């Protein structure tokens, strides 16, 4: 199957599976990626640039192959001095037509060879830039999906918190009406309820904005995403690979670093092309010419001729432009090498940050899960104390707030860990649909 149609096939299979799922209106992470792979404007631009770059080597090779051209002249001429000559025809006007076929084969031309090397380097650069764009798409898709998940998690917790506070308001109101409670308990519960409602309104607006960003990523309608599970995930880095492994993998397989190194090759070939301006060129030239000329009476009006020879061009002086171009290309090469060194250093830092994000995120998920369980027990104890008359409504509200914050921290820590896991694979060039499916299973 042609690689251009592979994403479309994957999207069709994904949509078919989506239609058979229990809730077809919920968008999965893989479905968003498949749609973005076809419709994301950045990716479409990368596809076009990639196809354009595939012609760079052929363009450079063309300068090394024979150059063939056909030229012709068709026109009328004559004398302007009014004179006559016995060798001319009676009329001062004459017809002159010519047709020439010229072939040239470079024999020694450093500039053309450097242009060929530059074409190869530009083709390689186009390939790795496409890989960079392909890897970056996974990162953008995950960020857009997780942004919606983060807001929806908040809204789900707020809805649960509202229900719990509403129950507390009713309970406090009944106790107050029976003379067993204080009006301050009712006011505290209602104030907290109003505050949570205000937070819900703000998050609803954020949810719409996040959904629009997500739908625009893949040119999709506004769809809900699959709800996130609150259970802490398994450790995604359970294969025993340490930071040194990922750092070494990044140096070998990172498309970002490969793109910088390819830019160095392009700069090197450009420098060689400019230096070639100081060297002579030698080429084999052949020419076949046919002329039709009615100017002469005694000579044949048609003349066929040929020419075979060597053409030597020795540059002497071009106003200093060649030397200036060499200096410019040399400085550009030094800059490209410095950019590659900077990218290598930045890559090590990014990989270390992403790896630490996964490791620390997993540890935080386990810790916040314990915090959720502890706050759940604390809330139950506070509610029993309230029934026994030793705790107030404020104590219950504070206990509820701590529980919901712990649950929110757990979900956010899980999202941060999964995002770091995606970023780690993107920087090392290992991100693919299989890894994305693993992230979706941990979601």
The domain of 277 spans 27-75+91-313+321-442
Model pLDDT, residue 17: 42
Q: In which band, very low, low, confident or very high, does the pLDDT at 25 lie, cut at 50, 70 and 90?
A: low
Q: Which residues face 291 on adjacent strands?
A: 98, 303
Q: What is the pTM of this model?
A: 0.77
Model pLDDT, residue 311: 85
Look at residue 84 and tell me if it is in a domain. Answer: no
Look at residue 429 and tell me if it is in a domain. Answer: yes
Question: Residue 181: left (phi > 0), alpha (psi -120 to 50), or beta?
Answer: beta
Check pLDDT > 70 for residue 94: no
Look at residue 2 and tell me if it is in a domain. Answer: no
Look at residue 81 and tell me if it is in a domain. Answer: no
Look at residue 334 and tell me if it is in a domain. Answer: yes
Each residue's pLDDT tens digit, 141-173: 898 899 889 888 888 888 887 877 777 777 767
- pLDDT mean across residues, the chain: 81
Could you give the number of structural domains in the chain? 1
Q: In which band, very low, low, confident or very high, does the pLDDT at 426 lie, cut at 50, 70 and 90?
A: very high
Look at residue 86 and tell me if it is in a domain. Answer: no
Each residue's pLDDT tens digit, 266-304: 888 888 888 888 888 888 899 888 887 765 555 556 778
Instruction: Please give the backbone phi and psi of residue 287, each rounded to the nearest 5 degrees, phi first.
Output: -150, 135
Look at residue 48 and tell me if it is in a domain. Answer: yes
Range ranked top by mean pLDDT from 160-174, 298-312, 410-424:
410-424
Look at residue 21 and tell me if it is in a domain. Answer: no
Q: The dihedral of CA 373, 379, 381, 383: what is its sign?
A: negative
Each residue's pLDDT tens digit, 56-73: 888 888 888 888 888 888
Each residue's pLDDT tens digit, 217-253: 767 777 788 888 888 788 888 777 888 899 998 888 8
CATH code where residue 177 lies: 1.20.1600.10
């Amino acid at each position: 199957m042609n690689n251009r149609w592979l994403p479309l096939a994957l999207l069709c299979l994904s949509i078919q599976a989506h239609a058979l799922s229990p809730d077809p209106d919920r968008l999965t992470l893989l479905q968003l990626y498949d749609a973005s792979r076809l419709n994301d404007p950045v990716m479409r631009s990368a596809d076009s640039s990639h196809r354009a770059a595939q012609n760079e080597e052929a363009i450079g090779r063309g300068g090394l192959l024979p150059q063939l051209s056909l030229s012709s002249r068709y026109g009328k001429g004559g004398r302007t001095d009014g004179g006559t000559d016995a060798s001319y025809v009676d009329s001062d006007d004459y017809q002159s037509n010519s047709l020439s076929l010229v072939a040239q084969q470079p024999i020694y031309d450093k500039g053309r060879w450097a242009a060929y090397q530059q074409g190869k380097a530009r083709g390689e650069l186009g390939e790795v830039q496409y890989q960079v764009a392909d890897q970056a798409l996974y990162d953008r898709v995950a960020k857009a999906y997780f942004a919606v998940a983060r807001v929806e998690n908040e809204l789900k917790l707020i809805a649960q918190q509202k229900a719990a506070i509403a129950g507390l308001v009713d309970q406090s109101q009944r106790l107050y009406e029976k003379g067993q409670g204080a009006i301050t308990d009712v006011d505290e519960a209602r104030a907290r309820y109003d505050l949570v409602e205000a937070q819900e309104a703000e998050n609803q607006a954020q949810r719409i904005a996040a959904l629009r960003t997500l739908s625009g990523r893949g040119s999709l309608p506004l769809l809900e995403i699959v709800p996130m599970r609150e259970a802490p995930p398994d450790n995604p880095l359970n294969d025993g690979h340490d930071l040194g492994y990922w750092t070494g993998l990044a140096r070998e397989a990172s498309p970002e670093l490969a793109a910088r190194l390819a830019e160095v090759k392009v700069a090197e070939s450009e420098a060689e092309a400019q230096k070639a301006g100081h060297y002579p060129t030698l080429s084999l030239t052949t020419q076949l010419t046919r002329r039709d000329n009615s100017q002469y009476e005694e000579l044949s009006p048609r003349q066929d001729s040929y020419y075979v020879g060597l053409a030597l061009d020795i540059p002497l002086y071009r106003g200093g432009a060649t030397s200036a171009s060499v200096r410019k290309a040399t400085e550009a090469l030094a800059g490209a090498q410095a950019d590659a060194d900077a990218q290598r250093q930045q890559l090590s830092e990014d990989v270390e940050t992403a790896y630490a994000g996964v490791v620390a995120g997993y540890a935080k998920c386990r810790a916040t899960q314990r915090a959720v369980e502890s706050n759940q027990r604390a809330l139950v104890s506070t509610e029993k104390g309230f029934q026994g008359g030793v705790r107030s409504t404020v104590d219950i509200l504070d206990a509820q707030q701590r529980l919901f914050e712990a649950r929110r921290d757990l979900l956010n820590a899980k999202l941060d860990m999964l995002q770091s896991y995606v970023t780690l694979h993107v920087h090392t060039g290992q991100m693919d649909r299989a890894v994305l499916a693993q992230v979706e299973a941990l979601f």
